[in-house]
Amino acid sequence: MGSTIQILLATYNGAAHLDAFFDSIEKQQFQDWSMLVRDDCSSDATREVLAQWRDRLGDRLQFLPDSGACNLGVVRSFSRLLNASTAPYVMFADQDDVWYPDKIAVSLATMQQRESLTSPSSPILVHTDLALMDQDLQPIAPSYWKYQGIVPENGHGLNSMMVENIAAGCTCIFNRPLIELVGEIPAGARYHDWWVSLVAAAFGHIVSLPIQTLAWRRHSSNSSDIISLSQAVWRALTRTPEAARTLSSLLAENRPQVQLFLERYHHRLTPSQVADVRAFLDLPTHGFLKRRISVLQHRLFFTSWQRTAGMLVLV
């Protein structure tokens, strides 16, 4: 019989931090877990470190059978892992993070509590806050949500999720109905976790758990970047042309992912959701006033009023 939780780990040149990551997994209070790993043809000692942990963990750690494909990238690696998963619940994992001992336990308990209030076929995503650390695990910010100015309960709808992903993949747990609905994540998705969040926002339930469940290590080789709320507001106030270009670029980078989402799920979306998606996609085609009216009408908001106010000034 398989495990209750399957941890999906995509690795690439992560040898320096894998021992710390696996140590934190071994210390989890909830122990009915297994792990499925895909390495994207690392050139460092990652595969050797993984082999050592396989010897230690035995069958709890499995490697995704691979045809030799290399350098698929984060999105396609996690898509393959998700499609190969078999457990009732899965969790994404980053190779350089450190999980707190109660991470699996509290995430699963919250998931099962929400499931008890919905139908068995309801797609559900549960995510948490996290602590932001530098590459040596020295604190940058105790709460990623506060640092980023994320108010997660404002971001559970599809209209806001197109603008801003509130659910960091490494904090998430997904149930099987959501996994089945996601299917293969398209290579054109901007981020694997953002794609899953869009699906959950459109067709299921998102639960935001206001506790930190891991130390999120940030360094030069991370695949995403972050900026604090205070930095974002300061840029908007002092460097308006540059801030406007940055916002325009951000929305432009999101647009292909939203277009792919519309193409795949158009038949499942409500007319109101389709209108919101088309409004987001059409923003660049409108003039100054109509862009702002569309943002307000379709509630294409960031989760914090500060960022939303900045968008209305700059968009």
Query: Domain-by-domain residue ranges, the chain?
Result: 5-217, 229-314
Give the 3-state DSSP-derived string for the chain, with helices as H, strands as E and coil as C: CCCCEEEEEEECCCHHHHHHHHHHHHCCCCCCEEEEEEECCCCCCHHHHHHHHHHHHHHHEEECCCCCCCCCCHHHHHHHHHHHCCCCEEEEEECCCEECCCHHHHHHHHHHHHHCCCCCCCCEEEEEEEEEECCCCCEEECCHHHHHCCCHHHCCCHHHHHHCCCCCHHHCEEEHHHHHHHCCCCCCCCCHHHHHHHHHHHHCEEEEEEEEEEEEECCCCCCCCCCCHHHHHHHHHHCHHHHHHHHHHHHHHHHHHHHHHHHHHCCCCCHHHHHHHHHHHHHHHCCHHHHHHHHHHCCCCCCCHHHHHHHHHHC
pLDDT at 65: 84
- CA-to-CA distance for 13 and 42, rounded, in angstroms? 5
Cα-trace Rg, the chain: 20
Q: Which residue has the higher pLDDT, 227 or 168?
A: 168
8 Å CB contact between 217 and 135? yes
pLDDT at 305: 86
pLDDT at 237: 47
Give the tens place of pLDDT for each residue, 101-124.
999 999 999 999 999 999 999 999
8 Å CB contact between 277 and 158? yes
Q: Does domain 5-217 have CATH number 3.10.620.30?
A: no
pLDDT at 85: 97
Point out the least confidently predicted range of 75-84, 225-234, 244-253, 282-291. 225-234
Residue 269's Cα: distance from chain center in Å?
21
- In degrees, to the nearest 5, what angle opens at C-alpha 278 toward C-alphas 276 and 279? 60
- CA-to-CA distance for 216 and 6, rounded, in angstroms? 20
Compute how many other C-beta atoms are within 10 angstroms of the C-beta atom of residue 227.
12
The structure tokens listed for 303 are 């989760």
Q: In the predicted model, is pLDDT for residue 227 greater than 60?
A: no
Average pLDDT, the chain: 91
Residue 266's Cα: distance from chain center in Å?
22
The structure tokens listed for 161 are 């999720």
Mean pLDDT throughout 213-228? 68
Residue 212's Cα: distance from chain center in Å?
15
8 Å CB contact between 101 and 28? yes
pLDDT at 107: 98
